[in-house]
Amino acid sequence: MSENVAAVKQIERLRDEINQHNYYYHVLDEPHIPDVEYDRLYQQLQALEQQNPDLITADSPTQRVGAAPLSSFAEVSHEIPMLSLSNAFQAQDVTAFDQRICQRLNTEQACYTAELKMDGLAVSLLYESGLLVRAATRGDGTSGEDVTANVRTISSIPLKLRGDDYPQRLEVRGEVYMSKQGFHDLNQRQTELGAKLFANPRNAAAGSLRQLDPAITASRPLSIYCYGIGIIEGAELPESHYQMLQSLRAWGLRISDETARLAGLQACLDYYQAVMRRRSQLPYEIDGVVYKLDDYAQQQEMGFISRAPRWAIAYKFPPEEELTRVENIDVQVGRTGALTPVARLEAVKVGGVIVTNATLHNQQELERKDVRIGDTVVVRRAGDVIPEVVRVILERRPEHTEPYQIPKTCPICGSAAVREENQAALRCSGGLVCPAQRIQAILHFASRKAMDIEGLGEKLVEQLVERGLVNRLPDLYRLSLEQLAAMERMGEKSAQNLIDALQKSRSTRFNRFIYALGIREVGEATALSLTNHFKSLSRLQQASEEELLEVEDVGPVVAANIAAFFRQSENVSVLQSLVDEVGIHWPEVAGSDQTDASLAGQTFVLTGTLESFSREQAKQLLLARGARVSGSVSAKTSYLVAGENAGSKYDKAEKLGVTILSEQQLLQLLAE
């Protein structure tokens, strides 16, 4: 036997043995050998690979660290969107969720998979032929950042799947997190180095995964729990989510031992209570539990809303509360002109985060709670995110305090503050005349989920507005290197980086551009719905309120806001300038040059499994011909397209007398 053949066999044996021990340690949490023996095996492999560098492969355990630092993260478009989950904060919310499922599926009891809701960063792992080829963050759900080099450094993520029955192409979704002990140890090291401390394990995990130098990520105590899949090709999908998780474990991926299969509502509520009792003893942070309808066929039947699946819900834990004192109350002016009273608090740690400010929402809420300067209050992080004042401890109220009144004029520009009909909030009437609205509008436009202009922070925007360099959004793109370099805390390099970021932002996506405009109550999901429906800016601008109401997730208030936005000449002027003069552009949305409107005015509902194409592909074909595609059957439904295993939608369509098409009839209709 030649030396090279012997080396190949020895290297393969060591890799298999090390991977096996990684599986025992990270996935099963059952180490079979002491650390010192593992280190010996690793060193043997390392030495052999150094002697035979031509035998080193990307999936070798020794190749977890070693990639060169990146200059930036590339964007990754998710082939299947990574949706968020609807939240439940009370048992009634979970009960209502279960009732909706049972009614729609026409069953007395549904079966769920229950999982812990990890407090980390969602990622997508793509395996091809069993090898990890790409990892990406969730981002906005449609696209995220390529963090492959960093993810490869995380020991609990296999570079190669186990066994030989894994799919040819598999996208695994999971949550990268940092344990409580790991977080404590990291902050201890940060203290010793005199470096900035992390606020909580979630921030530490997110910051560690998004390092441009993979070596830094490798030094951080990150781990993962996998909770689902996206793409699966070259293998049959199991019948249930629980079975899928067991398959992931068998292929070497880490899933939580706390995952359980539950029958019925009461079992779900009992699981929540049991986990909440043990929450503080868990080695990692969680902020709730997640229930998913277990049967995949039933998941398909339930379908999705634009933001989340109908078959899953996150039951959040009650927010943590603390006592603190209100040192002052002042008013912030938001980008839409809303005047919001804010309590300035004596610093207090709530849910692992230092809180110094809390919203008081509006004058009505302020009066209802009767919050005054000097009061001792209970503060909490609602949904574990937004700090708010819950109530006043009246027994501790100092003498001679006065009720607080929001001023009748804008504290920034002095314009009159007005209250619109049926609105609780006062709003500044100054519009773009008001620097606060201008500043917030620019910051929103530049934000990560909008135009993503890196380096355009609040302090810089304030300077640009105060010096009169930016009065309208297009002015951002007319800034010179000299003007930017002259700003406080800006050098020539920072100025050039911002110029480059502005140039890069000229190429965007249509839904991001819509969201960046800051139309009241038009968030990311609504912007995406508007994009899919209207396809082009001109069609959106010309849409009437009636046409806007045809868009999924757009109600009367949002439709009125959108129509009002495009009626204002200043807004239209800004849009024209951004597109025609600045040159902001985006790839053409599929169907934007639509000339075939043969199905305009017709509403379709899709149910069951189609053979010729997926339901999403069928939806896009119908939209391209002017049809509207809805998720539920009603008297307004024109056609129900029924594939295999059509469920309750079929029965409802029959009762309502809706025309039911087979897949073949749909193909004929599209061909015509």
Would you call 315 exposed, middle or buried from its count of C-beta atoms within 10 A (0-12, 13-18, 19+)? buried
The candidate with the shortest Cα–Cα distance to 15, out of 136, 131, 170, is: 131
**Residue 137 has which token pair?**
């963050």
3-class DSSP state of 623:
helix
Output the furthest CA–CA distance in the chain (Å, rounded): 95
Return d(Cα 156, Cα 183) in angstroms, integer.
17
Whether the CB-CB separation of 252 and 156 falls below 8 Å is answered with no
Q: Find the catalytic residue in 9, 117, 180, 369.
A: 117
Nearest to 580, CA basis, from 515, 511, 527, 506: 506
CA 251 → CA 130, 248, 489, 568, distances in Å? 9, 5, 51, 57
Residue 23: C-alpha distances to residues 29, 157, 254 (Å) = 8, 10, 9
Q: Which residues of 611-642 are buried (b: 16+ CB within 10 A; e: fewer)?
A: eeeebeebbebbbbbbbbbebebeeebbbbbb
- Report DSSP letters for 418-439, one per residue: EE-TT--SEEETTGGGSHHHHH
Q: Which of 461, 462, 459, 457 is nearest to 447 (CA)?
A: 457
Contact 639, 630 (CB under 8 A): no
DSSP secondary structure, 167-194, as one string: -SEEEEEEEEEE-HHHHHHHHHHHHHHT
Give the Cα separation of 434 and 442 in Å (integer): 12
Residue 509 CA: distances (Å) to CA of 307, 362, 577, 648: 18, 35, 17, 37
Question: Which among 107, 94, 82 has a CA at the least distance from the CA of 297?
Answer: 107
Q: What single string gives the DSSP state of each residue in 391-428? A: EE-GGGPPTT-------SB-TTT-PBEEE-TT--SEEE
User: C-alpha distances in angstroms, 614 versus 101, 608, 611, 620?
Assistant: 23, 10, 7, 10
Instruction: Name residue 331's amino acid.
Output: V
Q: Is 239 helix (H, G, I), strand (E, B) or coil?
A: coil
Sort 578 into a burial class: Cβ within 10 Å, 0-12 / 13-18 / 19+: buried
- Return left, alpha or beta for 26; rule: phi > 0 is left, psi -120 to 50 is alpha, else beta: alpha
Question: Rg for the chain (alpha carbons), in Å?
Answer: 28
Helix, strand or coil, per DSSP, at residue 662? coil
**What's the sign of the alpha-carbon dihedral 220, 223, 228, 234?**
positive
Residue 134, judged by CB atoms within 10 A of its CB (0-12, 13-18, 19+), counts as middle
636 is catalytic: no
Q: Contact, 465 vs 435, CB < 8 A?
A: yes
Structure tokens at 656: 């309502």
- Return the structure tokens found at 4: 């090279």
The catalytic site residues sit at 117
